[in-house]
């Protein structure tokens, strides 16, 4: 299983700043990272309160990855998901450019308080030439770590 780790990201008091080198390191070999546009944390927070940009910046990170098609080999299934603050649900957005049905294995990690992390998988199967989203609900804080081809 391929591991993904977030590297320390520079956060200013106004917005999240990610250099191109950091974005490549966060994305890993095949994935990519995008930052959603919107109002800055400092602009939303009142003047008498101190903004917590590091905590709010995680909400704006979008992870992207792709899986090669079995047929035709030149196409791929594109997947994206967010790293939310509450981690109670994960929505995976997909766009299948393949001509056949493709199964993708999703690797999740649940943070348990006293027993350590629990890792588990789910299968996402998409029909050829379709796009959409699938929402996974969790009972505990959970994060999607990686995607791999096959189920």
CB 11 within 8 A of CB 57: yes
**Inter-CA distances, 76 with 36, 47, 70, 98, 143, Å:** 23, 47, 9, 6, 24
Q: With CA atoms as reference, report the closest residue to 4 among 22, 21, 29.
A: 29
**pLDDT at 31 (0 to 100):** 55
Angle at CA 148, nearest 5°, toward 143 and 149?
Answer: 145
64-114 confidence digits (pLDDT tens): 999 999 888 899 999 999 876 667 888 999 999 999 999 999 999 888 778
The pLDDT confidence band at residue 126, using thresholds 50, 70 and 90, is very high
The model's pTM = 0.61
| pLDDT for res 14 | 32
DSSP 54: H
Among 63, 1, 74, which Cα is nearest to 32's? 63
pLDDT value at position 8? 33
Domains of the chain: 20-149 (2.60.40)
CA angle 49, 52, 55 (to 5 degrees): 150
């Amino acid at each position: 299983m391929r591991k993904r780790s977030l590297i320390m990201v520079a956060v200013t008091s106004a917005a999240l700043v990610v250099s191109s080198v950091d974005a490549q390191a966060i994305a890993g070999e095949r994935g990519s990272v995008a930052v959603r546009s919107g109002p800055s944390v400092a602009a939303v927070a009142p003047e008498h309160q101190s903004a917590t940009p590091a905590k709010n910046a995680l909400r704006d990170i979008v992870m992207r990855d792709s899986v090669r098609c079995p047929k035709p080999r030149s196409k791929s299934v594109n997947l994206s998901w967010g790293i939310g603050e509450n981690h109670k649900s994960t929505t995976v957005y997909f766009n299948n450019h393949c001509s056949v049905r493709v199964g993708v294995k999703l690797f999740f990690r649940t943070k348990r308080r006293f027993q350590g992390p629990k890792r588990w998988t789910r299968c996402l199967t998409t029909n050829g030439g379709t796009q959409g989203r699938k929402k996974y609900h969790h009972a505990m804080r959970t994060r999607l770590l990686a995607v791999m081809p096959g189920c």
